[in-house]
Amino acid sequence: MTPTLEDLRPLSLDLALLLGAFAVLTVDLFLPHGRKRALGWLTLALLLGVFTASFFVDVSGPAFAGTYLGGPWALMWKRIALCAGALTTLASLDHVDRHFPTRQGEFYLLLLFCLTGMTILPGVRDIIPLIISFELMGIPLSVLAAYAKTEDKDGVHKHAPEAGLKLYLVSAVSTAITLFGLSLVYGMSGATKLDAIAHAQLSPLLSVGMLMTLAGLAFKIGAVPFHMWIPDTYQGAPTPVVAFLSVAPKASGFAALSAILLIAFRANQAPLASVLVLSIVASLLVGNLMALPQNDVKRMLGYSGIAQVGYMLIGLYTGTSYGVGMLLFYLTGYLVSNLGVFFVLEVVAPRRFGVDVSELDGLVRRAPWLGLALLMFLLSLAGIPFAVGFWAKFFIFMAAYRAGQTWLVLFGATMAIVSLFYYLRVARAAFMQPPATNETLQIRPALAAAIIVCLLGVVGMGLYPAPFLERAAAAAQAFLEGQG
């Protein structure tokens, strides 16, 4: 079948993003130094434009002979990615302008490439473009993680290249493992289309292939035992990048995992189920316990993110459309809450790589609104009502109970209590400790706007989650029914 122009229609949003990225690059060439800040606004406008367009442009239907499938599922993921990108851009504006004044264009360009990979991936139904789009997301991210390499006024910061290099090396190994696994899968099934792989006969070699694929992807989402890159990278990268880093690979990873587990391996899940359970238990346990003794808030958030991944994996593990829908909802809630916390850290400690808990002391006295926002984000991550995180956990547990996994509900609930210790430790510093300095905090308008949007998301979805739940459930249903 020869590709036609019609094949590009389901991908029109992603193409717009890509063209926009090149436009940013071109504009960068002509902008004089000192005015590069406009690139950030341009990127933001682009992302918001594509996000708005996603409500009006019809991008459903197959493309390139079923290699790509547009539909509610792909659209939902695209919007999540675009929101994460827009919020990150908004929060990065001042950071980039101040710390990397001459390298602004590349920053946004990398971000946009990364986002393009993220938006294409969920609709892909073939293993080769799947890996390509995944790497399109992953490689720019390693560069972004090392972005603070030299130009800081304090000179070279050793954490920054370390963070980027670690991410890059470990990520390369994980991609190698995935590719090796997929080549075995291809060898045993003779197909690259996900649907066709599902018809393969189960054989030992296929099991090995599936397992290696899973292991590689587990790295991207940071599930135990493939989590070790997370804390080091979080600590060394610029805070707005970490914020993005804490949600973007997770979003892509879960999209890829869903596609591979629930489509390609749907008939041969037996050998994978036990591995998945093991990873859930280990992620909840290790993530929560390791987060406890951390004094660095960024590291703590890294570990707590591992625990959050454990909850999301529960949704995937149920394999039901309800469970997968709740995974999507969980991710949405996690996105706004987690971005929010990192943005608050960016206000409090803008130039530092590690942020000690004590730096948040008395935050509520220095900036009451900021303290309150931080409290809401933390409560949401801990799963306390009136914040979106509560519904996320509640519905994930409901899905697990429905799937007959009562013990997972009890285990997950117990671990949620453990998480209170470290989330409340941060809240306690902000609310119950005397402030170290009496300097009032300067909050730049762009960053403040990003925090307010996150806060609105956390509270809004906490009070009235219905529309988001509905969309997530519908998307998951369409996905499992093969409508994309």
Rounded distance between C-alpha atoms, residue 38 and residue 386, angstroms: 37
CA–CA separation, 352 and 51 (whole Å): 32
- List, in order, residues 6 or more apart from 19 with CB less than 8 Å away: none
* Position among 25, 191, 420, 452 found at the interface with another protein (CB under 8 A): 420
C-alpha–C-alpha distance, residues 242 and 141, integer Å: 10
State in angstroms the smallest separation of the CB of 479 from another protein.
Answer: 15
Q: Which residue has the tokens 């210790």?
A: 421
Q: Which is closer to another protein, CB of 111 or CB of 364?
A: 364
Q: State whether residue 102 is helix, strand or coil.
A: coil
Q: How far is the CB of 50 from another protein (least distance, A)?
A: 27
Least distance between another protein and beta carbon 53 (Å):
26
Site string for another protein, 43-82 (x = CB under 8 A): ----------------------------------------
Q: Of 160, 335, 144, whose CA–CA distance to 240 is shortest?
A: 144
Among 238, 310, 465, 484, binds another protein (CB under 8 A): 465
Task: Specify the residue, 22 or 421, whose C-beta has the smaller distance to another protein.
Answer: 421
* Spatial contact of 364 and 430, defined as CB atoms under 8 Å apart: yes
- Closer of 118 and 453 to another protein (Cβ): 453
Nearer to another protein by Cβ, of 170 and 454: the residue is 170
479 lines the binding site for another protein (CB under 8 A): no
* Cα–Cα distance list, 353 to 168, 186, 242 (Å): 19, 43, 10
Q: Is the peptide bond before 368 cis (omega within 30 degrees of 0)?
A: no
- Told to check if 385 binds another protein by CB under 8 A, we report yes
Among 58, 434, 440, 442, binds another protein (CB under 8 A): 434
| Cβ at position 75, least distance to another protein in Å | 18
CB 59 within 8 A of CB 18: no
Which of these ranges, 69-77, 248-256, 340-348, 406-414, lies near another protein under the rule CB under 8 A? Answer: 406-414
Nearer to another protein, 130 or 367 (CB): 367
From the list 79, 74, 4, the residue with the least C-alpha distance to 47 is 79
Query: For residue 455, what are its two tokens?
Result: 């806060």
Which C-beta is closer to another protein: that of 48 or that of 424? 424
Q: Considering only residues 268 through 327, tell me which ones interact with another protein, judged by CB under 8 A.
A: 270-272, 274-275, 278, 286, 288-293, 320, 322, 325
Site for another protein in 194-223 (CB under 8 A): 204, 207-208, 211-212, 215, 219
356 touching another protein, by CB under 8 A: no
Site size for another protein, by CB under 8 A? Answer: 71
At its nearest, how many Å lie between another protein and the CB of residue 470?
5
Long-range contacts of 435-439 (CB under 8 A, 24+ apart): 435/361, 435/362, 435/363, 435/365, 435/366, 436/358, 436/359, 436/361, 436/362, 437/366, 438/366, 439/366
**Of 224-253, which residues contact another protein (CB under 8 A)?**
225-226, 228-229, 231-232
Taking the complex as a whole, the smallest distance from the CB of residue 39 to another protein amounts, in Å, to 33
Asked if 416 touches another protein (CB under 8 A), the answer is yes
Closer residue to another protein, CB minimum distance, 50 or 177: 177
Question: Which one of the spans 81-89, 114-122, 189-197, 399-407 is the region binding another protein (CB under 8 A)?
Answer: 399-407
15 belongs to the binding site for another protein (CB under 8 A): no
d(CA 72, CA 482): 11
The total number of residues shown for the chain amounts to 484
CB closer to another protein, 38 vs 441? 441
> Taking Cα atoms as reference points, which of 94, 154, 37, 97 lies closest to residue 443?
94
From the list 67-75, 105-113, 183-191, 379-387, the region that binds another protein by CB under 8 A is: 379-387
Which residues, 139 to 198, sit near another protein by CB under 8 A? 165-166, 169-170, 173-174, 177
Q: Could you give the 3-state DSSP secondary structure of residue 62?
A: strand
Q: Which stretch binds another protein (CB under 8 A): 38-46, 308-316, 352-360, 464-472?
A: 464-472
Helix or strand run (H / E) with residue 63: strand 61-63
CA–CA separation, 419 and 367 (whole Å): 25
Pairing of strands 68-70, 61-63: antiparallel
At 246, give phi and psi (nearest 5°).
-80, -15
Q: Which stretch binds another protein (CB under 8 A): 63-71, 95-103, 258-266, 420-428?
A: 420-428
